[in-house]
C-alpha cells in the first residue's frame, strides 16, 4: 500500500481531503492535507462550483482532465451524477477542440503511445502500463478524428474520452481501461510545423510497414493482457474497413465508427418508426456521406431488414448514398470497395436536392461532416414528400452538423423526427418544448463492451450490434417520444448499458462465443461487475 505523498499522487487511490483522521495517521498523510475532512459529496460540490466558473468549454475540459489525473473516484462520481452536463465537455463536441489543441494544453500523459520506431518491441512498450488486468483497449492512429481529419498523435483525446465513457456509462473499472495512440506520423502540415506538436513529424506510414506494425500491435495486446477487447477508433476509411475485416474473426474487436454508429442509428430509427407507425421494410434511406459511419449504419439496417425476412439484395436497395461526387450508382467507375454494395442501377444525380426529389427518401441521414448541408430547401423538400420526415444530422463535432435541431424543426413546422450527432439545446415551438436526441455512440459501445467482458466473448459480431440497437430502443418510453427524444435521457445510461450488456452476453452464449459459463442471473452478474465510484477505507 502506498503511503504519504506517493499515495496522494496515485489517482486510483487518492481521496484528497476525504482521507479520515485515522487514515492520515496510519498512512503518513498528517500535515500533507488541510485539517478539515470532507465527504465525497462535499468534494463533488466543490468540483461543480469550480467547473461552472470556467469561462470556456476548453477550460472546463482542462479542469476535468486535471481532476481525472488527480482523483479518479471523484472524477467519475462527478461524471456519473451529472452526465448530461459533463459529457459534452469530456467527449463530443469539446474533445474535438481539445485534440486540435492537444500539444498546447498538454499537462500529463495518459495512455500509451506506440510509434513507428517501436516496431519489434511493441509488447515491451505495452508492459510499461502499470495495470496488468486490462479488459478494454481503445486505439486510434489519429488519421480521421471526428470530422476534423488527420490530427496525428494529438488524437489521443479520443481514446481517453471513449474509455472515460466506458467507466461512467457501463462501470468498467478505470484500471481495466487502456487508451492507445499509434503515432505513425501525420500528413497534417500545420501540425508537423507546430513546435508544440507532441508526435513524430514524419509523414504517415503506409503500406506493408504500417500493416506489420498493426499486426505486431494486435498480437501484443493479446500476449501482454488477458485477451482484452480492442476497439478501433477514428481510423481513415482506407484502413478502417480492411482492419476490421482482418481482425474481427481472430480477436474480440470492433470499429465503433462503423458498428457502434450503425447500432445507435438503427436504435434511433426504430424509435422514430414508433412515431410514424410504418415498418422498417417500407423505408427508403438516403445517406449524405459514404464513409465508415454511413456504410456502418446501412450495414446494420440491412441486417435488421434481413432479420425481418427481407432478402440481402432487396435490403441493400433500401439504402442509397450520395458522396462528394454525387449519387453512388453502378455506372460509376470511381467507387471505393466499401461503397460498391450500395451502388444501385439508377441514373446519376449530382446533388442532394435532386436525389431527394428523384428517390423520395423517408429517412435522410447526414454523416458527411458538411455543416449546413441540410439547408432550408432540403428540409422543406423532405417535409413536402412526407408528413413525418426522419432527419438524422449525425456529423460531429457540433460545428460539422448538417443542420441544427432548431433548423430541422422550424423549417419542417415541427414535423421532422430529428436526431443529431452532437448536443443541441431544447427548442420552444408553439408552446411546446422539443428535446433533441443526440445519437451518441456512448449509448451503445459501453454496454457492448460490458456484455463482452462479463461473458468473455471471443469475438464481437455484427449481430451483437443489432441486438444492442433493439435493446436500446426498448429503453425509450412513450414520454420520451412525446418530447421529441429518440433515445432515453443520459441520466438513465447505466441502466441502458445493463440492458445492452445482457442482450449481448446472452447472444454470445447462444452463439457459442462466450468463454465464461452462463450464470443463473445474467443481469445480476452484469450489475455486480460495474464499478461504482465511492471511497473505500484503507485502514
Which residue numbers are catalytic? 91, 162
**Exposure pattern of 419-428 as b/e (b: 16+ CB <10 Å)?**
bbbbbbeebe
User: Which of 238, 240, 218, 220 is closest to 230 using CA atoms?
Assistant: 218
Q: CA 471, CA 92: separation in Å to the nearest integer?
A: 24
DSSP for 152-167 reads GGGGGHHHHHHHHHHH
Where do the H-state alpha helices sit in 414-474?
445-455, 462-474
What interhelical angle do 462-474 and 261-276 show, nearest 10? 40
Per DSSP, 320 falls in state E
User: Which of 353, 324, 354, 350 is closest to 339 using CA atoms?
Assistant: 324
Cis peptide before 337 (omega within 30 of 0): no
Q: CA 239, CA 256: separation in Å to the nearest integer?
A: 14
CA distances from 525 to 158, 492, 518 (A): 30, 19, 9
Strand order across the beta sheet in which 112-115 lies: 112-115, 177-183, 136-140, 229-232, 253-255
Amino acid at each position: 500500500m502506498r503511503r504519504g505523498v506517493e499515495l496522494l499522487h496515485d489517482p486510483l487511490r487518492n481521496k484528497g481531503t476525504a482521507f479520515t483522521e485515522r487514515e492520515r495517521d496510519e498512512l503518513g498523510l498528517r500535515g500533507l492535507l488541510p485539517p478539515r475532512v470532507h465527504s465525497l459529496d462535499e468534494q463533488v460540490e466543490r468540483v461543480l462550483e469550480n467547473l461552472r466558473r470556467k469561462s470556456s468549454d476548453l477550460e472546463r475540459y482542462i479542469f476535468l482532465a486535471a481532476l481525472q489525473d488527480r482523483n479518479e473516484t471523484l472524477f467519475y462520481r462527478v461524471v456519473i451524477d451529472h452526465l448530461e452536463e459533463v459529457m459534452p465537455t469530456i467527449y463530443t463536441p469539446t474533445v474535438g477542440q481539445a485534440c486540435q489543441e492537444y500539444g498546447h494544453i498538454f499537462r500529463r500523459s495518459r495512455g500509451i503511445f506506440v510509434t513507428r520506431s517501436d516496431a519489434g518491441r511493441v509488447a515491451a512498450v505495452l508492459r510499461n502500463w502499470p495495470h496488468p488486468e486490462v479488459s478494454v483497449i481503445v486505439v486510434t492512429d489519429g488519421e480521421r478524428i471526428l470530422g476534423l481529419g488527420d490530427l496525428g498523435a494529438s488524437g489521443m483525446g479520443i481514446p481517453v474520452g471513449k474509455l472515460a465513457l466506458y467507466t461512467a456509462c457501463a462501470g468498467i473499472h478505470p484500471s481495466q481501461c487502456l487508451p492507445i495512440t499509434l503515432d505513425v506520423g501525420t500528413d497534417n502540415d500545420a501540425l508537423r510545423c507546430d513546435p508544440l506538436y507532441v508526435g513524430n513529424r514524419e509523414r504517415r506510414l503506409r503500406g506493408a510497414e504500417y500493416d506489420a506494425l498493426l499486426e505486431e500491435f494486435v498480437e501484443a495486446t493479446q500476449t501482454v493482457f488477458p485477451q482484452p477487447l480492442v476497439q478501433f477508433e477514428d481510423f481513415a476509411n482506407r484502413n478502417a474497413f480492411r482492419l476490421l475485416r482482418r481482425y474481427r474473426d481472430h480477436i474480440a474487436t470492433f470499429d465503433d465508427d462503423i458498428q457502434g454508429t450503425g447500432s445507435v442509428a438503427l436504435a434511433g430509427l426504430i424509435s422514430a418508426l414508433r412515431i410514424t407507425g410504418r415498418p422498417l421494410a417500407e423505408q427508403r434511406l438516403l445517406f449524405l456521406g459514404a464513409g465508415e459511419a454511413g456504410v456502418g449504419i446501412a450495414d446494420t439496417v440491412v441486417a435488421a431488414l434481413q432479420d425481418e425476412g427481407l432478402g440481402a439484395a432487396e435490403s441493400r436497395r433500401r439504402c442509397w448514398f450520395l458522396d462528394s461526387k454525387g449519387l453512388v450508382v453502378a455506372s460509376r467507375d470511381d467507387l471505393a470497395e466499401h461503397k460498391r454494395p450500395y451502388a444501385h442501377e439508377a441514373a446519376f444525380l449530382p446533388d442532394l436536392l435532386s436525389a431527394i426529389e428523384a428517390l423520395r427518401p423517408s429517412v435522410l441521414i447526414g454523416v458527411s461532416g458538411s455543416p449546413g448541408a441540410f439547408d432550408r430547401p432540403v428540409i422543406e423538400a423532405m417535409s413536402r414528400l412526407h408528413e413525418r420526415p426522419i432527419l438524422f444530422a449525425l456529423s460531429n463535432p457540433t460545428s460539422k452538423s448538417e443542420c441544427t435541431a432548431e433548423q430541422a424543426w422550424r423549417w419542417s413546422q415541427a414535423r421532422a423526427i430529428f436526431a443529431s450527432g452532437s448536443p443541441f439545446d431544447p427548442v420552444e415551438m408553439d408552446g411546446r418544448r422539443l428535446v433533441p436526441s443526440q445519437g451518441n455512440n456512448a449509448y451503445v459501445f459501453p454496454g457492448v463492451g460490458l456484455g463482452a467482458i462479463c461473458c468473455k466473448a471471443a469475438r464481437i459480431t455484427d449481430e451483437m450490434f443489432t441486438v444492442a440497437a433493439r435493446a436500446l430502443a426498448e429503453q425509450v418510453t412513450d414520454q420520451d417520444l412525446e418530447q421529441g427524444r429518440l433515445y432515453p435521457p443520459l441520466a438513465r445510461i447505466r441502466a441502458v448499458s445493463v440492458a445492452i450488456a445482457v442482450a449481448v452476453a446472452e447472444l454470445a452464449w447462444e452463439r457459442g462465443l462466450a468463454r465464461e459459463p452462463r450464470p443463473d442471473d445474467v443481469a445480476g452478474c452484469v450489475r455486480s461487475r460495474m464499478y461504482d465510484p465511492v471511497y473505500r477505507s484503507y485502514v
